[in-house]
């Protein structure tokens, strides 16, 4: 086995570790794989065939190369994060002595807030989806649950019927990032839509299917199919920009934050381990914050 193939094998083992031991989603593992494949190409082209010979200067050289290619700061940050994680694994396995990527910083990137739907747009989208057919009934329940509880796409797609507690109006999520479980409240409108959907399923003879959301053939609905259905309803309602699951998750977060001002609670509901992530993905109602500041700060009050 050549040195280059040794590096490839180490990367393959690392990706398997992420999937099987860290229980990361297929989407996350796929991103790591893409970033590390590009990194291995860089190593090969620069004759860096041993993990131990790679220094911080080489990592900086790689970052500069990516920057010259016009890649965004966010993309470079993600690639750097993948390399750091790989090296932590290599050190654990005794294949490297230090992490050359640890002290390397990616170019700063502007923190852009994802576009969201306002309350009126969300109401129009949900209220116009009459649950009068199998597909419409299912899709209405999907959208109500996404907006009600702020689930990630992978979390929603993996739900089972047993994960919904109708009595206490809760959803049990066990497949978030890092396989961290959490319990999230479900609003009354989403509960109503879910009850209608389960009744529709039963009438079609799918009462033994354990997956919560299924196709007309009775199979678990995949992530791509869910994305396509939301896009369909967005177009039907003439909503600008594409309607997708994360946009509904973001609407949930921003509307909750604007109404409550409780960033910590929204962080818990979203399942973010770092509150800075919540700050990036939610719109802050600055007028509300200004009013709170003016009324609460002792040096802000007018005499």
Residues known to be catalytic? 152, 177, 246, 249, 272, 281
Retrieve residue 252's tokens.
């949930």
Residue 179: DSSP 8-state: G
Q: Is the dihedral of CA 182, 207, 245, 146 positive or negative?
A: negative
Rg (CA), the chain: 23
Q: Which H, E and C letters describe the chain, residue by residue?
A: CCHHHHHHHHHHHHHHHHHHCCCCCHHHHHHHHHHHHHHHHHHHHCCCCCHHHCCHHHHHHHHHHHHHCCCCHHHHHHHHHHHHHHHHHHHHCCCCCCCCCCCCCCCCCCCCCCCCCCHHHHHHHHHCCCCCCHHHHHHHHHHHHHHHHCCCHHHHHCCEHHHEECCCCEEEECCCHHHCCEEEECCHHHHHHHHHHHHHHHHCCCCCCCECCECCCCCECCHHHHHHHHHHHHHHCCCCCCCCHHHHHHHHHHHHHHHHCCHHHHHHHHCCCCHHHHHHCCCCCHHHHHHHHHHHCCCCCCC
Phi and psi angles of residue 184, each rounded to the nearest 5 degrees, phi first: -125, 135
- Tokens for 98? 């230090």
Question: How many residues are there in the chain?
Answer: 303
């Amino acid at each position: 086995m050549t040195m280059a193939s040794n590096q490839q094998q180490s990367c393959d083992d690392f990706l398997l570790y992420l999937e099987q031991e860290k229980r990361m989603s297929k989407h996350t593992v796929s991103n790591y794989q893409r970033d590390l494949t590009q990194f291995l190409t860089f190593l090969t082209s620069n004759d860096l065939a041993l993990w131990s010979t790679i220094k911080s200067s080489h990592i900086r050289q790689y970052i500069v190369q990516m920057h010259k290619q016009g890649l965004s700061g966010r993309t470079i940050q993600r690639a750097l994060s993948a390399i750091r994680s790989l090296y932590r694994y290599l050190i654990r396995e005794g294949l490297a002595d230090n992490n050359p990527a640890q002290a390397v910083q990616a170019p700063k990137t502007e923190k852009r807030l994802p576009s969201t739907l306002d309350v009126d747009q969300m109401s129009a989208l949900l209220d116009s989806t009459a649950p009068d057919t199998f597909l419409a009934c299912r899709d209405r329940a999907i959208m109500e649950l996404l907006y009600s509880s702020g689930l990630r796409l992978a979390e929603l797609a993996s739900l089972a019927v047993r994960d919904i507690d109708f009595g206490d109006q809760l959803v049990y999520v066990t497949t978030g990032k890092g396989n961290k479980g959490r319990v999230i409240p479900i609003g009354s409108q989403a509960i109503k839509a879910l009850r209608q959907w389960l009744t529709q399923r039963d009438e079609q003879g799918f009462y033994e299917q354990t997956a919560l959301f299924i196709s007309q053939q009775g199979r678990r609905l995949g992530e791509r199919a869910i994305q396509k259905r939301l896009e369909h309803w967005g177009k039907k309602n003439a909503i600008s920009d594409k309607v997708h699951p994360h946009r509904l998750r973001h609407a949930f977060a921003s509307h909750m934050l604007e109404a409550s001002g409780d960033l910590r609670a929204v962080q818990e509901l979203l399942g973010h381990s770092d509150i800075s992530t919540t700050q990036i993905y939610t719109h802050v109602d600055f007028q509300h914050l200004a009013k709170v500041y003016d009324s609460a700060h002792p040096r802000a009050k007018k005499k």
